[in-house]
Amino acid sequence: MHRRALLAGLAAAPLARPALAQGAGAAFPDRPLTMVLAFPAGGGTDAAARPLAKIMEKYLGQPIAVVNRPGASGEIGFSELARARPDGYTIGFLNTPTIVTIPIERPQARFRLDDFAPVLNIVDDPGAIWVLPDSPIRSVADLVAEAKRRPGQISYGTSGIGSDDHLAVLALERVTGTKFLHIPFAGGAPVRTATLSKQIELAVTNMGEAIGDYRQGLFRPIGQMGTARWPVMPDVPTFREQGFDVVEGSMRGLAAPAGLPKPVLERIAEAARKAVADPEWQAVATQLALPLRLLGPDEYRAELVAMKAHYEKLWAAHPWRD
């Protein structure tokens, strides 16, 4: 009996290995993970993702190496995540709208929305336009008047063509009949540097990305692009309140390559939810003033699919090329 049981066990072993190799079952994770960020160190995504990864390690029992793969408005990093093996050991952040706009504007892009398994959306950050404290521009109306006086000369920095920052200014151009000078960068951090050094006149970044500079007196917002005022900065009016129908922002959430086994997806989502609820990360979120909006895998995917349809329609009417 002992010999038969041993042989049965050996026969069954090969059947178990593929599942474990794919990360399925209780063994996941049994080695370190990698988190891919499609934007540079020092930007809003990086500032939130690095502490989140550190806290997720506590709930996964494995280290998570965070790697920045910036370039091409996020296409380099998103493509790396999309092409990774769907075993749970490579995860990353998706940024809207670029995760849906890049394949729309570049049919040759190396990823599609269907290449990802959404895990947990974390941040929904309204857009904003920022100026230096000594700028005479104090409102959206001031900016529009100056743009009409100097058509095509007012420079603004964004995190790339097709980013929420870029699309926001294009929307402002459409509703006001103005024209600005677009200077795309690889992410929010270089936009900040260029604005502070006066290489460009306007920084178009999310509220959460620039609030630290605002608190230090380095930047001043002329308006934010949410549907309502952000409670953290209730004194900053929306564009709509100022008479300009422009609503834009960026969601940032965790995802993995498509094809991830469901038990692994659920394991990562559980660790991410616990990390977000952890007092240590809540303190980080408070310090960074992150606009949180938690969406589970199904809700997150539905939001992304709806966003894709919206921007496909916008592209057909108003292609966002410089």
Q: Binning pLDDT at 50, 70 and 90, where does residue 322 land?
A: low
Report the pLDDT value the prediction gives residue 11, as an integer from 0 to 100: 37
- Nearest CA to 271 out of 71, 20, 67, 56 is that of 56
Helices 279-288/262-277 angle, 10° precision: 70
Report the pLDDT value the prediction gives residue 321, as an integer from 0 to 100: 76
- Nearest CA to 39 out of 99, 109, 90, 85 is that of 99
Q: Binning pLDDT at 50, 70 and 90, where does residue 198 land?
A: very high
**Alpha-carbon separation of residue 40 from 66, 114, 185 (angstroms):** 11, 24, 10
Q: In the predicted model, is pLDDT for residue 19 greater than 80?
A: no
Task: Tokens for 148, please give them.
Answer: 């009409």
Query: For residues 226-253, b (16+ Cβ closer than 10 Å) or e, as one string?
Result: beeebeebeebebbbebebebebbbbbb
Q: In the predicted model, is pLDDT for residue 205 greater than 90?
A: yes
Q: What is the mean pLDDT of residues 99-119?
A: 95
Q: What is the mean pLDDT of residues 294-298?
A: 95
Report the pLDDT value the prediction gives residue 9, as an integer from 0 to 100: 39
Which residues are within 8 A (CB) of 160 and not within 5 positions of it... i.e. 6 or more apart?
72, 73, 74, 98, 166, 184, 185, 186, 187
Residues above pLDDT 70, as percent of the chain: 92
Task: Tokens for 38, please give them.
Answer: 């499609």
Report the pLDDT value the prediction gives residue 23, as an integer from 0 to 100: 39
Tens digit of each residue's pLDDT (9 = 90 or more) over 43-57: 889 989 999 999 999
Q: Binning pLDDT at 50, 70 and 90, where does residue 155 land?
A: very high
Query: For residues 64-77, b (16+ Cβ closer than 10 Å) or e, as one string?
Result: bebebbbbbbbbbb
Report the pLDDT value the prediction gives residue 26, as an integer from 0 to 100: 62
Q: In the predicted model, is pLDDT for residue 197 greater than 90?
A: yes
Q: What is the pTM of this model?
A: 0.80
- Give the 3-state secondary structure of residue 13: helix
Q: In the predicted model, is pLDDT for residue 91 greater than 80?
A: yes
Residue 96, φ and ψ in degrees, nearest 5 = -100, 155
Tens digit of each residue's pLDDT (9 = 90 or more) over 119-131: 999 999 999 999 9
